[in-house]
Amino acid sequence: MLCLGCLLMSEVQAADLASTIHISEFMSDNRQGLRDENGEAGPWIELHNASRASINLNGWSLTDTATNLTKWRFPGVVLLPDKYLVLFASGKNRTNDLAHLHTSFRLGKQGDYLALVDPRTNVVSELPPVPLGADVSYGRVPGEPQFHGRMPQPTPGRPNPGSGTGFSPEVRFSSPGGTFTTPFALRLSAGPTGAVIRYTLDGTLPFSRSPVYAQPFQITNTAWVRARCYLPGLLPGPPHSEGYIKLASDVLGFSSSLPVLVMDTFGINSPVSTHGSFVHLSLFEPVNGRTSLTNPPLLRTRAAFHVRGSTTSTLPQAPFALKLLDEFNEEARLPLLGLPADPDWILYAPNVYDPVMIHNPFIFELSRAMGRYSPRTKFIEVYLVQTSGGLKKTNYHGIYILIEKIKAAKHRVNIDRLGPDDLQPPNVTGGYIMKFDRLGPGENGFEARDDSGIVYVEPKEQTIMLPQRSPQREYLRSFFDQFNRALHSSERKDPIKGYRAFLDVDAAIDFHVLEVLSGNVDAMVLSTFFYKPRNGKIIFGPHWDFDRALGSTDHRDENPRRWNTGPFFGGEWWPWLFRDADFWQLWVDRWQELREAQFSFKNMNALVDRLCNELREAQPREYARWYLQPRGGSFQTEINHMKRWLSNRVDFIDSELVQPPRLELGPNGRFQAGSLVGLAAPKNVTVYYTLDGSDPRLPGGKVSKNALPLTNAIRLENGTRITARAYDPAHRQTGGPPLSTPWSRPLRQSLPLH
């Protein structure tokens, strides 16, 4: 008979190692929980790969009988680092479908022996027979898998809970983390009699053999304290960490109008699982308009970071990828500076190509104003401390732009996330995120050539290349084969048989129009994202990476008065799309529509001023830290340069297109029945119009039989629907799109029936 303490907690055999694969959770009497592919509830087992390498389980075994260690053998399913695999211990014995595995044995409700065995028949992980009751799971404690017991709630496929019923309480700290100038005593407490607090000061997670807390710590310098409570008969409690950052005298007077992020590694440069290296974040926000390092930080959290980017990773002020983490190095969803909560963020560093420092926020905001998601941004200043000791002036790392990482999420690319079970239609049809870009280390890409091509973004290549994910790869291959055949076929313009069946045309044009406005030198071939929602078409976006755009120092975009500052009409699919006269006309229509709103000089100049005004105070610190030399000698000359570049850019593109007619009311100046309306247009241009709402331009570009050439003012009647376009058959676009259009965008105006 098992005692209560044994049911709550026991230690496993020495074969169980925290750094390898192990049985992390199981449920023997599943009635209301997880369902298999047939919709049936049954016992299940969860494995966790705690190592840093992928493990092919081919030849491994699970067993419920200590005398038969190879009772059920795994097929060739691969488990990635820090990932989970859930299979059913149902007795159905299924191994052909790698995403829906079932053992040949069924776990008993009263508990069975349960072990994971490697190909050499070594027992790698085992759990004892424990009667649990209906819908109760049994699992290992996060961070200390040698302890296991009943879980407060089942979490198949996800990390186990680290607190709740059956766990020791959390350790309390007498002082919250943050900055300090005067040494102080730090006291730890846990409450119940008999509680043992174990701690570390080197950044590692406390465990059952860590030092025991006995008296207050004297905090005299920067310190990172982690603690965990242990009580007899209970599982170890949740870890609690606090970072205390000593401020040197030369930063006490620091003040900024921007938020400030302090990134401190506490001298620890060790990787955190597969996510990068550990860093502690302290985020300070303005109070009454000013940010001071002596104020309490708004947010304190563990994180992992690494240098990111291709060319930009080699620049002196490197960009970083951030992943917010909890105490067990699992993802922590937190909001930063008012942006929607998420674990994944980018710290983009404005570089020598973008001395005005607003290229990305400018384009991203225009995109959102157009109704398309692009990452939200916030300007911040950063201190980076990578040695032990206090925070000093020399740790100042400059201005950064906090950017939402492109990923599938409700508040980002809002598509379904593709799971391991999404292998049949309709689920297998999405969502996928991909991009045209250089291949990263270890990447082969999708339809890639040489060192670039289509790159998997989500799911990542290492995930989608798993044997159990092959139906997803096969679906993508088939979908893009069909799209490419349609795009290159004689019927490519057909709305059913052609490219429109596979591509969201409106989204593609919005994406392309904004890229052309920017003059992005790498457009369409690098950092060009697109995604495919479930049961949906290819959608281009979100936008990314505009350091070499908008009149940058790259020089390829130096002259805004030419089309191809970047390969806008090249790349993989665009040359074929722009051979369709109707696609090019939609582009012209959208450009001229945006010129009256988002792309107006007034709107763009106001956006430039607003973004740059946020940076004016901090800009001298950035230039001094990284020795940037503005063209013309000042930040304002860079601002003026960008405005002039934009003015020339839109003026050039406008001059390449036939301008739309303008509505002119008659003498009464009112738009009503009986009014006379004129349509003004440039000289030597014919205006064609209809009064029934139809388009004067037919698909393909010919003049509609319903269209009338404008010769006199139009008298309005109730129900009139004017649709007018300017037409100039002699007008040509040169040096850019492969086709020209003689048509302007349509002008539409209706007079309702009364």
Which 3 state secondary structure label does DSSP give 161? Answer: coil
Question: In terms of C-beta density within 10 A (0-12 exposed, 13-18 middle, 19 or more buried), how is residue 287 classed?
Answer: exposed
436-449 per-position pLDDT tens digit: 999 988 899 988 77
**Rounded percentage of the chain residues whose pLDDT exceeds 90:** 82
| Residue-wise pLDDT tens digits, 227-236 | 999 999 999 9
Domain boundaries, the chain: 4-150, 172-245, 247-404, 427-599, 658-754
Closest CA to 382 of 239, 523, 281: 281
Written as six digits, the tokens of 749 are 């105006």
Sheet holding 72-73, edge to edge: 72-73, 61-63, 114-117, 123-127
Q: Write the CATH number of the domain with boundaries 4-150.
A: 2.60.40.1260
Q: How far apart are CA 466 and CA 44, in angstroms?
A: 22
What the block records as the tokens of 595 is 């010129």
The torsion angles phi and psi of 507, rounded to 5 degrees, stand at -65, -40
Helix, coil or strand: residue 487: helix
For residue range 500-512, list pLDDT tens digits in order: 999 999 999 999 9
Helix 601-615 to helix 635-656 angle (10° resolution) is 160
Name residues whose C-beta falls within 8 Å of residue 430's C-beta, 6 or more positions apart in sequence: 415, 416, 418, 532, 533, 534, 535, 536
For residue 298, give Cα distances in angstroms to 184, 262, 393, 614, 731.
21, 12, 21, 20, 59
**Is 45 exposed, middle or buried, given 0-12, 13-18 or 19+ CB atoms closer than 10 A?**
buried
Tell me, yes or no, if the two domains 4-150 and 658-754 fold the same way.
Answer: yes
What are the pLDDT digits (tens) for 124-173?
Answer: 999 887 888 899 999 999 999 999 999 999 999 999 999 999 999 999 99
- Going from the C-alpha of 402 to that of each of 338, 357, 378, 399, 489, the distances in angstroms are 12, 13, 5, 10, 44
Asked whether residue 2 carries a pLDDT value surpassing 80, the answer given is no
The whole-angstrom separation of Cα 60 and Cα 76 is: 9
- Decide: 401 and 348 in contact? Cβ < 8 Å: yes
* DSSP code of residue 169: P
- Burial (Cβ within 10 Å: 0-12, 13-18, ≥19) of residue 564: middle
Best CA proximity match to 87, nearest among 73, 102, 75: 102
Whether the pLDDT of residue 660 is over 50: the answer is yes
Distance, in Å, from the CA atom of 431 to the CA atom of 442, rounded to the nearest integer, reads 23
The whole-number pLDDT of residue 391 equals 97
CATH topology of domain 658-754: Immunoglobulin-like (2.60.40)
Q: Dig out the tokens for 454 from the structure.
A: 């289509």
Please provide the DSSP assignment of 347-358 as one string.
Answer: EE---TT-TTS-
Q: Is 90 left (phi over 0), alpha (psi -120 to 50) or beta?
A: alpha
Residues 334, 324 contacting (CB under 8 angstroms)? yes
Region for 584 from its dihedrals, namely left if φ exceeds 0, alpha if ψ lies in -120 to 50, beta otherwise: alpha
What does the alpha-carbon distance between residue 334 and residue 312 come to, in Å, rounded to a whole number?
Answer: 27
pLDDT digits (tens, 9 = 90+) for 344-368: 999 999 989 999 999 999 999 999 9
Predicted pLDDT of residue 14: 29
pLDDT at 456 over 80: yes
Q: What secondary structure does DSSP assign to 317-359, as a single string?
A: S--EEEEEE-TTS-B--B--TTSPPBSEEEEE---TT-TTS-H
Q: Which residue has the tokens 């829906």?
A: 100
Distances (CA, A) of 703 to 323, 401, 678: 56, 50, 20
Lowest mean pLDDT among 237-241, 314-318, 374-378, 630-634: 314-318
Q: Reply yes or no on whether the pLDDT at 17 is more than 50.
A: no
Q: Which residues pair with 592 in a beta bridge?
A: none
Given phi > 0 = left and psi -120 to 50 = alpha, else beta, which region is 185?
beta
As a whole number, the mean pLDDT across the chain is 92
Q: Is pLDDT of 569 > 80?
A: yes
DSSP label of 659: P
Q: For residue 393, what is the DSSP state?
A: G
What pLDDT was estimated at residue 640?
98
Closest CA to 430 of 443, 454, 442, 413: 413
pLDDT of residue 5: 30
Report d(CA 542, CA 411) in Å as an integer.
Answer: 13
Q: For residue 478, give every residue at least 6 positions away whose Cβ sits within 8 Å of its Cβ, in sequence order, or none.
A: none
Distance of CA 656 to the CA centre of its chain: 37
Distance, C-alpha 530 to centroid of its chain = 13
pTM comes to 0.93
Helices and strands, number each (H, E), in the chain: 10, 41
Task: Report the candidate in 532, 356, 354 with the shortest Cα–Cα distance to residue 454.
Answer: 532
What gap in Å lies between CA 480 and CA 472, rounded to an integer?
A: 12
Helix (H) or strand (E) holding 687: strand 686-690
**Class of the domain covering 172-245:** mainly beta
**Residues pairing with 538 in the sheet:** 503
The runs of H, that is alpha helices, within 573-719 are 574-577, 581-595, 601-615, 619-626, 635-656
Give the pLDDT score at 709. Answer: 95
Beta strands 676-680 and 662-665, pairing class: antiparallel
Sequence-distant (≥ 6) Cβ neighbours of residue 625 within 8 angstroms: 317, 396, 397, 398
Cα separation values, 736 from 507, 508, 567, 653, Å: 20, 17, 9, 10
| pLDDT at site 670 | 65
Count CA atoms within 13 Å of residue 224 on its CB side.
24
Q: Confidence class of residue 10 from pLDDT cuts 50, 70 and 90?
A: very low
Quote the CA–CA distance of 692 and 721 in Å, as a whole number. 5
Contact status, residue 168 vs residue 231, Cβ threshold 8 Å: yes
pLDDT digits (tens, 9 = 90+) for 512-535: 999 999 999 999 999 999 999 999
The dihedrals phi and psi of 520, each to the nearest 5 degrees, come to: -50, 120
Strand-by-strand arrangement of the 528-532 sheet: 446-449, 452-458, 432-438, 528-532, 539-540
* 3-class secondary-structure state, position 245: strand
Q: How far apart, in whole angstroms, are the C-alpha atoms of residue 445 and residue 464?
A: 11
Dihedral pair phi/psi, residue 612, rounded to 5°:
-70, -35
Contact 183, 220 (CB under 8 A): yes
Instruction: Identify the sign of the CA torsion 653, 678, 742, 720.
Output: positive
> Average pLDDT for residues 626-650, to the nearest whole number?
95
Task: Give me the pLDDT at residue 16, please.
Answer: 37
HSE toward the beta carbon, residue 212, CA cutoff 13 A: 6
